[in-house]
Amino acid sequence: MAVLMAMAAVLGPGSGPAGAARAGKRTTFHGHISAGTGALGHAHGQVTVVTDSSGSGQSVRVTLTLRCRRGGGGTCLRGRAAGTATARRNRIPDTGSTFDLRASGRVAPLGQVSATGSATGTGFIRTGRFTLHLALTGHGSSVTVDARSGPERGFSSPF
């Protein structure tokens, strides 16, 4: 634990032990549709997901805003879902914190959606990227989005 605290001191504000979320954070992820089912079985395209979180501790409120990426072509996901991000127990201290996501909202072309997935922070590394895996289900179809953030400091949380 002393090593983790020393790393947090070196890395600066916003870093801390894995699983510790900050209040009022915005993170931008860029990625793509990696799979689809139903009417969106052949879906593809570039997606930007912006997460806005509030609260602190093991579970925080989160809003996911999805939009098409310029020049991405393919299926355009556009909309918003709100829910929670809950930290998983991290058994390996050097790895990034992982949060389970659950949200609901409206995302075109799916309509009303249920969103589930996970987001992972950086671990024992100077600079890394957050990852996001998100499944959106609605009206008999679903899409899966895989994305990552820009460079982030080590031991940082996506929320």
- Residue 23 — very low, low, confident or very high, per pLDDT cuts 50/70/90? low
Per-residue pLDDT tens digits for 86-132: 999 988 888 999 999 999 999 999 999 999 999 999 999 999 999 99
Residue 150 tokens read as: 């820009």
Rounded to an integer, the average pLDDT of 66-91 is 91
Q: Note whether residue 159 is domain-resident.
A: no
- Residue 15 — very low, low, confident or very high, per pLDDT cuts 50/70/90? very low
- Residue 72 — very low, low, confident or very high, per pLDDT cuts 50/70/90? low
pLDDT at 73 over 80: no
pTM of the model: 0.84
Q: Can you tell me which residue has the tokens 């860029």?
A: 30
Q: Note whether residue 158 is domain-resident.
A: no
Per-residue pLDDT tens digits for 135-158: 999 989 999 999 999 999 999 999
For CA atoms 136, 137, 139, 141, give the dihedral sign.
Answer: positive
Per-residue pLDDT tens digits for 27-55: 999 999 999 999 999 999 999 999 999 99
Per-residue pLDDT tens digits for 122-135: 999 999 999 999 99
Q: What is the CATH number of the domain that holds 107?
A: 2.40.160
Q: Which domain holds residue 92?
A: 2-153
Number of domains in the chain: 1
Q: Note whether residue 133 is domain-resident.
A: yes
pLDDT at 17 over 60: no
